[in-house]
Structure formats: C-alpha cells, structure tokens
A and B are shown apart, each in its own frame.
Chain A
C-alpha cells in the first residue's frame, strides 16, 4: 500500500539525496533522506495518517511542519529506557535505524477501538467530566477512575530509568537573538558586527527559518540580488566566522524569566543514529542577556469548518515547507481553502512542481490583486467568497463541498470537489509566547486581527513576523535595525544594514474564527483545537452555560490546554467567542502564555542533579566507623545520623532497648557532631547573648555552660542548646541540628540591623568540631586514662563545666553535659581528628562494655528525663513556660527577644497547652505520637480535644511505656485520667510530671 517516493520531487529541496536512511513507523519499514523529518519522510511515501486524536480517536494526519504540530505525536524508541513519547513528527530528525510508533490507538493506527468515542461524541460534550461520574459514589475508585486513567493521556513513558547524561550551562551575552529566520539573522548580523557578544538560537536543525521554505527556482525570493538560499549561506558563514557569536541550532528558547534570564534547551544527540555513550543528550542553557531580540516568526492558523481534521488536510505553510525543504509533495490533487494571500504562493509553487491544484477557494470577497493575477496567469482556478460545508474521507480526505453563503444565511452554488489533499490558511498568528512570558503587554492590531507586542517589560525587542511585520524586506530591515539598537543598548556597537528584496509575496493577514455556516448552531465537527478535540460546538456550549471569561472557556473546554498550548487554536477560539458575543477580540480577552514554549524533558531540567549529586550528603566523623559497625542511618536535613546499631538480627526496638540499657548501666557512645555550633566573639558577646536568649549570660562564669533558650520576637520557642563561655569575650553556642543555619541568620539579623553598635563577630563552627558524647555511669572511668591536663573529678569538673585538655595527643575541649540524665561528657576535637578520637574512646570503652547508640536511643533517654526537643515537643506556638522551661528565663533582665510578647494577655491566660507526662494503664501499650487527648471518655465526634502526644516510647529501664504531651492546663491535671481516642478504641492515660527516671537528678551530678 506504500508507494515508495511517489510523492518525492525528482530534484530539489534541502535533503541530501545521496544519503538514504531506513526507519520504521509502527513496524513498517520506510526510507528517507538525510535532512528529512519523520513527517516529511512518511509523507514522501504518501503516508498521512500519523495519529489518533485525544478524545474521539479520530484518524489524524500532519497539520503543520513545525513546533505547532498538534496531530502527529509519536514515540521514538531506541531501547526500553529511551522511549520518548509525544514528539512532534515534524521535529523528529530522521536517522538511520529510527524506530517510531504512533500513539493513542489500539490495536492499530488504522483500526482503533477507541474510535467508538467518535460515534458516541454526543455523550462527551465540553466539560462532560464535570457532569458525569458523579454517582454512585463507590464506583469512582473501582470503575470510573481506572477507566479514565486508562483512557487519558497520550504517549507511554519509558519503563526504565533514564540512562543518559544531561548538561547544564550558564551564559552571559550582550544580545540574545531567539529565532534564526530572516529577522533573527539580520538582527544577529547587525548586533555582532561591532564585537558585542551575541547568542543566536533556533529550534530547528538548520538556521534560516522561513528562508528555508523558499524555492531554489526562479520562483523564490532574492535578497540583495542573490537567491535567498545563497544569502542565507553567506549570512550563516559570516556569523560562524565571528568569534563573538555563538550559534545554537536545535535549541529551543522555552522560557523568559525576570531580568532577562532565558532558558534554552539544546538537543545534542537526538538526531544521531549512534550517539557516543558518554555524550550529553541535551543541554539546558540559562542565558542572562543584556538585551533580547525576539524573532520568533508567526504560525499559520487552520480554518475552522466541518470536517477540517481529516488526514490529508494541512496548513498551506506546511505544504510549502515540505515541498521546498524536503522535496515532498503533499498530494496529487490539492484544493486550497484560504483567507490569506500568502497561501497563493504555495499553490503556485505546488503547481510548478507538478501537483494538480484543483482550485483555490478564497473565503473572502477577493484576494490582493497581485496574487490573484499571478494565480490566474498560472492557469489556476479561483473561487472567491465561498465557505466549506464539509469534507469526506475517513483515513484520508477524498473530497470537499463548498458553497456561497449570502449574508441572509442562504446557501447557493453548492459544489463538490474530489481531491486527496486540502490546504488551509486562515492567516498567521505572531508567535508572542516569549514576549508574553516576559510580562510584556500585548496590543491588538485591528487591521491584522492579531495580538502583537505592545509595551515591553524587559530589555527586549521584537522583530519580524512575531511583531506583525509583513514582507521579507521589511522583516530583514527591521531585524537589522533592532539588532543594531539592541547592541547599542547593551553597550556595544551595532551596524545597521538595509536590504533589497525581489519576491512574489502575499500578506500574512487573515481573519481568525470559524467559517460561517448555514443554520443557527455551529457544526459539531468543526475542530478548533486539534490536539484536545475541541470543536466550535463545544465553545458555543461553554458560552451558553454561562462561561464568560475566555480563561474560563479555555478551562471548561480545554481549548489550548494540550501540549501544543493552542499554537494553532487560541486565536480561532478567540475570534469565534468575540464574534458570537458581538464584541471585539481584545474585549474577549487573551489567555496567558506560560513556559515552556514546547515540552522540555525532565532530564534536561534535572541536569546533573541526579543520584549522588541530587543533594549533598553531610557525613559525621564517625561515619565510616558506623558503617563498619552495621549502623542504620537516618537522614536529618543533609546529615547522615546513626539511628541505631542492630546486632544479630535485632529489630529497631530490640536494638534501642539494648542501647538505652547500656547507657543507664554502663556507658554509651554517641556522635553529636551534627549539633549546630556558633562562635560568638567580641567585647559585647555577653550583652549580645543576653539580648537574644531568655537566659542571663553575663553571670555565666568562664569555664561554665548554661542551657539556653531562644525565642522569636513573638515569644515562641525557636531553638535551644548549651552555651559555653570559653573566655570572657568568647562563647561557644550550640544549636539544634536543624536550627543551626536559621539561628545564625537570626543572630546576624539582630547584630547587623538592630544592634549594629555591638562589637560582636559570629562564625559558624559546626563543621570545625567533632563532638563525641560519652554517657553513662562508667563515662569517667573510660575517659580518665585517655585525657591529660585536666581533672575529671566531680568537684573539679562538675555538671555543666568545661575544660581544655588533650585526648591522647589531640587537643580537646571537654564539656561535662548530658542529654541522657547520666554522668556525661561531650568531647569536642577538631573535626579532622574526629574519627581517630572516636576510635580511641571506643577502644578504651571496651573494658566497660561500651555501646554505640543512635538517635532513637538518644530520643528515649532524654524523654525518660523529660528533656524537650525543639520542634518535637514545641511547634512554633509554645512559649518557654508551655514547654516547662520558665525556670530558664532570667527575671532580672529588662528585655530580651520575645520578652514583650510573653507579657501579652494571651500568653498568660489559662487554658494554654503545657508539657506533661502520660502513663498508659497497660504498661506495654505505646501511644502514637500525634494522637489527640480528650478530657472525658466516650465523646461523640466531633470531640472536644485538649491536647496531643508529642513523644512516646517504650522505656526499657522503667519497664513501661512513657509519653510526653502538650495538654491544656496540663500541670493542673497531674494525677488525672485522660483519654486518647484511637480507631481501635479509647486509651485511658494518667497525667504525670515530665521526669520519669531519676527524678532527683542524682545520676547527673555523680
């Protein structure tokens, strides 16, 4: 059924006919030439059917020749991991061995069961999914959702992880030119002539844009007396030779961000038959340009009439591009339906190439005289002032019915034409996507009936067809002028040029909307949005149902919401809405353009940030040792913290019980290096800390530590930690692991902006110190033989004291502090010595049964003592008093951050949640953290709840479960029974104080 090369012209085009490439589409073998796209190569075989539509599964062929293609979406498959769905066949460059598949059809493209939807289409009007699937309720999960999920979407994603590499790059330039058509090339030439750094990008493999569509024959345009192709080759050669110019073909500028930052996606290997294994597949450019020139061209609109979506119905511009670039004829018998003069040129060129142009049907009373004359002179037949009533043919168009339509709605001169191809042209829409993304204001050009750039928001200039400029000479001149101006504005020198052009050209103007039809209702089968199957009837329904704003109509009908973002449909929808409501197009409004211009792969956006490079990892000094000892890690921010050390197949609970008991009975070893550390240094260091923390630090003696609490200005607990005074003017402040950065930020904020008179310097020292916690009754005995230069006795180094000395030969800051309630030390050594110090302590601890413990055991041990964890017991709404920490607040201080707020009535009112302990009646029952607490049993939903569980564990040393909770007026409820409602039933609990173990604190001071 294929006719090899029947539709290829004998000569001409920009393809390399000496290089034949083989490929398959849906398993069928074909061949094409180097320089073909998948679409052009299929069309050379007469294959138009390339896809099925999204909703109705209608057979669809190629509509366009570029990025705007809505129908011919295909998957290109290299292997199971390299299956790229939803590619536009018009942008897939052919390579030898390419494998492509059609989408959204089963079992085959020619016979698709889903096409039943087309016959059931009365059931699927606009917004049907808002009106159906409402009941029965249970059917949603079991029936509707699975069916909808199966039916929704277009292509299938790959099943394996992406094995390819993706590069990313930042670039700066004086002028970024987007689009390398005539305007972009002229702009780049002018902007770079004076030496300014210019980047020129274009989404296509070859620079040239619309110039690539010019025929090489005498029909084609000439620039400065040369054929357009010659001028193009010279221009590209000139630009290539300039060291200040970067040319980026195959590079789509898809996003325009604030302050002239633009994102470009460069496809590096997609077109290669055998990419080098290590070569990056795509590169994301983030370009900061002093000035931007947008030369993004214009996109032709299809016409909207009944049956306008059959395979074999294309845009006139697509037919021209296929003929002149690829040497491909779109069909044998072509009817052109047009409301735009430019399409006449296509008809002339097709005829010259030997295609039968059955007739030109002009929807207007008349075309411009010069194109009409040229058509008639070439022997073409033109019928003006006609509309199209319908077409025939299922997998390929076979005919078209036209008629004259009087203003009264009367139809006359009905006539049918047999054809195998219908070309459509409704005029051109300037590609203002990037301009609109830059937040520039669009202006409606009433003469051209399109939106064009109005007021710029960025340092940006538009040139050529994207600005509504018509004609090759005007486009070139405008490109040059804008390029020179941009260079000048960027601080370099531009060089103006002016061009002479000889060409037969037609205007790009047209009238967006729907072709008039007899009868009051719009036809069901006139497609406005091809990719989302939106018809003029759907738009009319949305308006009838009261959707006024074009933004709402868009969302209700999904017009313009497909992957092509309405490139061919938005203006027609807008024209139709405006005409239906008898308002102007700008009154109807315009939907917002958003990035990306065309879909961008996740690989490109992710770039290098995958796998190990996704996020940095912060290992502690004992990391390798812990790995060797079977640790299970926990991610805490970027840190890898030891969570527990299971032995002999222990589960977490067994390991944590063992670790906790070892600390209580003998000695444990814990890596506390992740604690945030800030050196606060200077003559005013004590004053500074006094103003920030709730505690008094002026009274802290050198060589002593104090537990500090930091509240925000609103009075709520922000962070806590032990603060040590190393010298009169030097404090060693520790913070929570997660709070280190924000505490330093807060300190800097107050120091720089409120108390800039204070002589204080802040330095983050978190990474400078390794901190080894040795905790348990045997801690002193373990350390004594290792340390030199200091006395570990309770009288010389009591709880909350510090001393300088050596651990072996390693200089050490030793702090006697405890987060377990046991005799404890935290050994601070320079982090480079951390691993060695750890191993020294570990070796010395063997005689005492030293046990490494992780964050789980640390949590249990501190909860047994009622020590809070900021962020676990507190949640940003707890005052120090709520958390049971009011003892730490210095009463004598006139002010500290948060003090004023603590005096607000609401902070002093009764009913605030307070930290208490909870005991379950059943000692084995461990409450769920986050569970709610009720004052009375058996309440009906909604219950009145008075608190919540913040921490809950099994305590091995006590033999029962323990919990901490924030409960309204909790301290007044000690001894009461409260209730924790759970799905399995209510759990009665007794309110206790927060300290469960060693309430006298004797062990701490041992």
Chain B
C-alpha cells in the first residue's frame, strides 16, 4: 500500500485516497469553440509515461480535496504532491 502525502493533511495510507487520472488536463474555456480533434484530445488522449507522471489524487476518506502528485510509474516513488492550480514542480509538460 502506497503512502501518499496529502498537501492538506500530511502522509496517509493509500486506502484513504482515490486516483483521479492525469493531472493538468484543463477543460477548454469554451468547448463549443474547439475543433473536433481538439475536443477528442481533451476527452480521450492521456499520457502513459514510463517514469515521472503528473496525476490527480483525491483524499476522499480524509479532507476530500483533490491535489496533484508527481509519481514515478516505474518505482511508485512520489517525488512531490502539490495543490491544484500550482504548476508541475519539475517543469514537465502540462498540456
């Protein structure tokens, strides 16, 4: 079971969390203005990196807050967790 550092509550076991998919996928401000391809990208296309991955978690059985995490998908090591709205700490791609 992973140990995850909630930016609001501190370190807690994985049981208290729910994974929320890739982070930094912003909903287009005006969806009706997006092309069909742009909309399909937003809806369906996600990264599947080997290595550092920015992903969303929710401390669902704790404070209930969503936050972002930088996790190495090969080792499960959390490099960092940070609040929604903050930039990806390693400066990696944020679509």
User: Which of A748, A752, A894, A899 lies at the interface centre, i.e. has the most chain B CB atoms within 10 A of its CB?
Assistant: A752
Q: Which of B3, B64, B85 contacts A259 (CB 8 A)?
A: B3
In the bound assembly, the distance between CA atoms of A925 and B32 in angstroms comes to: 47
* B34 near A900: Cβ-Cβ < 8 Å: yes
Shortest beta-carbon distance, A857 to chain B, in Å? 35
Residues of A close to B85: CB separation below 8 A: 756
Contact B66 A900 (CB under 8 A): no
Q: Is B56 a contact partner of A753 (Cβ separation < 8 A)? A: yes
Shortest Cβ distance from residue B11 to the other chain A in the assembled complex, whole angstroms:
10
Give min CB distance, B58 to chain A, whole Å.
7
Complex Cα spacing A256 to B34, Å:
48
User: Does chain A have a CB within 8 A of B47?
Assistant: no
Is B9 in contact with chain A by the CB < 8 A criterion? no
Chain A residues with CB below 8 A from B58, complex form: 745, 748-749
Residue of B nearest to A750 (CB): B27
- Asked if A288 lies at the interface with its beta carbon under 8 angstroms from chain B, I say yes
Taken residue by residue from 282 to 303, chain A's Cβ proximity to chain B (1 for < 8 Å, 0 otherwise) reads as 0000101000000000000000
B76 within 8 A of A: yes
Distance A714 CA – B42 CA, assembled complex (angstroms): 10
Total contacting residues, chain B, CB less than 8 A: 27
Take A752-B84, A894-B32 as given contacts and tell me if A258 and B76 are in contact as well, using a CB distance cutoff of 8 Å: yes
B82 — which chain A residues lie within 8 A by C-beta?
Answer: none
Checking A259, A288, A900 against B76 with a beta-carbon cut-off of 8 angstroms, the contacting residue is A259
**B21 and chain A: residue at smallest CB distance:** A749
B residues near A754, Cβ cutoff 8 Å: 26-27
Contact A258 B2 (CB under 8 A): yes
**Chain A residues in 8 Å Cβ range of B28:** 900
- Are A903's CB and B32's CB within 8 A? yes
A207 to B76, CA, bound (A): 34
CA distance A905 to B26 in the complex (A): 23
- The distance in angstroms between the C-alpha atoms of A593 and B39, with both chains bound, is 44
Bound Cα distance from A504 to B14, whole angstroms: 50
B26's closest neighbor in chain A, by CB?
Answer: A754
Task: Find chain B residues with CB under 8 A from A901 CB.
Answer: 39, 43
> Which of chain B's residues have a CB closer than 8 A to the CB of A288?
3, 13
| Contact call A895/B1, Cβ cutoff below 8 A | no
Chain A at the B interface: SS class: mixed
Chain A, Cβ-Cβ closest to B64: A748
Is A261 interfacial (CB-CB < 8 Å)? yes
Contact code string A745-764 (vs B, CB < 8 Å = 1, else 0): 10011001110100000000
Chain B residues with CB below 8 A from A457, complex form: 75
* Complexed CA–CA distance, A754 and B42 (Å): 14
Q: Which residue of B lies closest to A894 (CB)?
A: B32
Known: A748-B66, A754-B27, A900-B32. A258 touches B1 (CB 8 A): yes
Cα of A748 to Cα of B64 in the assembled complex, Å: 8
CA distance A754 to B23 in the complex (A): 12
Q: Is B92 at the interface (CB under 8 A from chain A)?
A: no
Nearest Cβ on chain A to B31's Cβ, whole angstroms: 4
CB A573 to nearest CB in B, in angstroms, measures 29
Residues of A within 8 A of B46 (CB): none
Q: Determine if B75 and A900 form an interchain contact, defined as CB atoms under 8 angstroms apart.
A: no
> Using Cβ atoms and an 8 Å threshold, which residues of chain B touch A895?
30-32
Q: Which of B3, B26, B31, B65 contacts A900 (CB 8 A)?
A: B31
In the complex, which residues of chain B have a beta carbon less than 8 angstroms from the beta carbon of A748?
58, 64, 66
Of chain A, the residue at the smallest CB distance from B66 is A752
- Residues of the B chain whose Cβ atoms lie less than 8 Å from the Cβ of A905: 36
Q: A903 to chain B: closest CB distance in Å? A: 7
* Min CB–CB distance A765 → chain B (angstroms): 15
B25: nearest chain-A partner, CB-CB: A753
Chain A residues whose C-beta falls within 8 Å of the C-beta of B13 in the assembled complex: 288
In the complex, which of the residues A257, A749, A899, A903 contacts B66, with contact meaning CB atoms closer than 8 Å?
A: A749
Interface 1/0s, chain A 889-915, versus B by CB < 8 A?
A: 000001100011101110000000000
Q: Does B20 interact with chain A (Cβ within 8 Å)? A: yes
> Which residue of A is nearest B32, CB measured?
A900
Q: With A748-B66, A895-B30 as known contacts, state yes or no: A756 contacts B84, CB within 8 Å.
A: yes
Q: Whole-angstrom distance between the alpha carbons of A748 and B84 in the complex?
A: 13
User: Closest approach, in angstroms, between the C-beta of A743 and any C-beta of chain B?
Assistant: 14
Are B64 and A904 in contact, CB atoms less than 8 angstroms apart?
no
List chain B residues, Cβ under 8 A from A259. Answer: 1-3, 76
Alpha-carbon distance between A901 and B42 when the two chains are bound, in angstroms: 11
Complex: A685 Cα to B57 Cα, angstroms: 25
Q: How far is the CB of B61 from chain A (nearest CB, A)?
A: 11
A756 CB to nearest chain B CB (Å): 7
Cβ of B70 to closest chain A Cβ, rounded Å: 15
Whether, in the assembled complex, A929 has its beta carbon less than 8 Å from a beta carbon of chain B, the answer is no
Q: How many angstroms between the C-alpha atoms of A339 and B71 in the bound complex?
A: 47
Which chain B residue lies CB-closest to A896? B31
- Contact of A439 with B by CB under 8 A: yes
B60 CB-CB contact with A under 8 Å: yes
Given contacts A749-B66, A895-B30, contact A713 B43 (CB under 8 A): yes
Residue in A439, A752, A753, A904 whose beta carbon sits within 8 Å of that of B39 in the complex? A904
A756 to B66, CA, bound (A): 11
Bound-state Cα–Cα, A713 to B28, Å: 11
Cα A257 to Cα B58 in complex, Å, equals 22
What B residues does A261 contact at CB under 8 A? 1, 3
Q: Residue of A at shortest CB range from B30?
A: A895
11 contacts between A and B (CB under 8 A): A259-B2, A713-B42, A745-B60, A749-B20, A749-B58, A749-B66, A753-B56, A756-B84, A894-B30, A895-B31, A901-B39
| For the complex of A and B, 4 pairs with smallest distance between CB atoms | A900-B31, A259-B3, A752-B66, A258-B76
Using a CB–CB distance below 8 Å, which chain B residues touch chain A?
Answer: 1-3, 13, 18, 20, 26-28, 30-32, 34, 36, 39, 42-43, 56, 58, 60, 64-66, 75-76, 84-85
* Additional A-B contact list (11), CB under 8 Å, known A895-B32, A905-B36: A259-B1, A261-B3, A457-B75, A714-B43, A749-B66, A752-B66, A756-B85, A895-B30, A899-B31, A900-B28, A901-B43
